Amino acid sequence: MKLATPAERELWNGFVAGAPNPHVLQTWEWAEFKAAYGWQPIRLLFYRGRGVAACASILKRAVGPVSMCYVPKGPVLDYADQSLADAVLEAVVDAARKHRAIYVKIDPDIPAEQEAARETLRRHGFRPGENIQRPNTMMLDISGSEEDILGRMKPKWRYNIRLAEKKGVETVQAGPDGFPEFYRVYKETGERDYFIVRPYDYCRLEWQTFLDAGMASFWLAKYEGQTLAGIMPFALGRRMWYFFGASSSLHRNLMPNHLLQWRAIQWGRSKGCTEYDMWGIPDVLEEGQPLWGVYLFKQGFGAEVTRWAGAHDCVLQPALYALWTRGVPAYMRLLRRLKGERTDERQLPGV
């Protein structure tokens, strides 16, 4: 095991892209972006012979003399390789301990039903913790021909895609100059659907970072000069993600979001993707639950429910962990109430 250097950025990203469950939150760029907001990247590379066998991008947040560590959607490894999993998890915990971490959180894309992998986490002191990313998602098969993909959709969804095209909805692959307009609609969506929207500067830097890296694309849907909706899909290896989407209240009957999803799928396929992670859905799949409409929208494209094992914490300082996980959230809620800010927002799919 060694600490990765900037000269190994390409090697790092190449390994993550080819992993069984690749994820952009383990790329070099994601840690670089988060470093602009107070996180310190600790990148561990694991070799077997001369080849890379695993990696773990740890984000450290200092809190006075202590810290907390988070490995977003990692570590990246084959959890069926028991000796490798043991070595990597031990190294991650050791690194967190050396940085005086209260705890280290991981949330790799391990299917919930893989009990052997979850037992490995337990043996190394990891227990289920609070989720930062939503543990349940919708996975869409985008392999085969375009006709195959359309054929797996519900008939109404195919109709809506064609309706948007027929009615003159224009989809534009935009650049950074379109960020302010996209953010305006994104913020409107958050206010309408009760989800947290990050500040513009945060979103702008995130979007720019991944556009520059070629890991994202940016589309706007327009009609008669008005922006109706937008989408920014991300892609790495065989998988793409639906992190950011926005829609105004204008001309919703023209189905711009259906057409934008189709453009995103076409872009992802051009990057070699065969799977589309459509991101978050309700924890409980019952009508009336938060995000129920989001679930139905994604289901219509033919996506199927995938449940991950979720976040797991290895607690290194129990007393401080209790304070951090219970006291700090309560304090933040109190501050928001005192400032007159909303406290009923739901954290929708987002990073």
On whether the CB atoms of residues 185 and 197 are closer than 8 A, the answer is no
Task: Provide the domain count of the chain.
Answer: 2
Q: How far is Cα 92 from Cα 69, in angstroms, rounded to an integer?
A: 9
Residue 285 lies in a domain: no
Q: Check whether residue 127 and residue 6 sit in a common domain.
A: yes
Q: Where are the alpha helices (DSSP H) in the chain?
A: 9-17, 28-35, 82-98, 115-123, 146-152, 155-166, 179-193, 200-212, 256-270, 292-299, 318-322, 328-338
Final residue belonging to a domain, choices 273, 301, 317:
273
Integer Cα distance of 39 and 91 in angstroms: 20
Contact 101, 69 (CB under 8 A): yes
pLDDT for the residue 339: 65
Residue 159 lies in a domain: yes
Residue 281 inside a domain? The answer is no
Residue 301 lies in a domain: no
Q: Which residues pair with 320 in a beta bridge?
A: none
What is the C-alpha separation between 124 and 323, in angstroms, rounded? 23
The predicted pLDDT at position 41 comes to 98
The DSSP code sequence of 69-86 is EEETT--BS-TT-HHHHH
The share of the chain scoring above pLDDT 70, in percent, equals: 95
Whether 112 and 148 map to the same domain: the answer is no
Residue type, 275: E
| Residue 67 to residues 4, 100, 130, Cα–Cα distance (Å) | 21, 6, 17
Where among 254, 273, 292 does a domain terminate?
273
Tell me the two tokens of residue 6.
Answer: 């900037």
Q: 129 and 147 share a domain?
A: no
Give me 135's structure tokens. Answer: 């543990």
In this structure, are 94 and 160 located in the same domain? Answer: no
Q: What pLDDT tens digit does each residue of the chain (351 aa) get?
A: 999 999 999 999 999 999 989 999 999 999 999 999 999 999 999 999 989 999 999 999 999 999 999 999 999 999 999 999 999 999 999 999 999 999 999 999 999 999 999 999 999 999 999 999 988 999 999 999 999 999 999 999 999 999 999 999 999 999 999 999 999 999 998 888 777 889 999 999 999 999 999 999 999 999 999 999 999 999 999 999 999 999 999 999 999 999 999 999 999 999 999 999 999 888 888 998 878 888 999 999 999 999 999 999 999 999 999 998 887 767 667 776 776 655 544 544 447
Would you say residue 237 lies in a domain?
A: yes
Task: List phi, psi (to 5°) of 7.
Answer: -65, -15
- pTM, 2 dp: 0.93
Residue-level pLDDT at 27 = 98
Return the bridge partners of 105, or none: 70, 313
Residue 168, both tokens:
């003159």
Q: What is the CATH number of the domain that holds 225?
A: 3.40.630.30
Domain of residue 221 covers 143-273
* pLDDT for position 348: 46
Of the candidates 252, 273, 294, which is a domain's last residue?
273
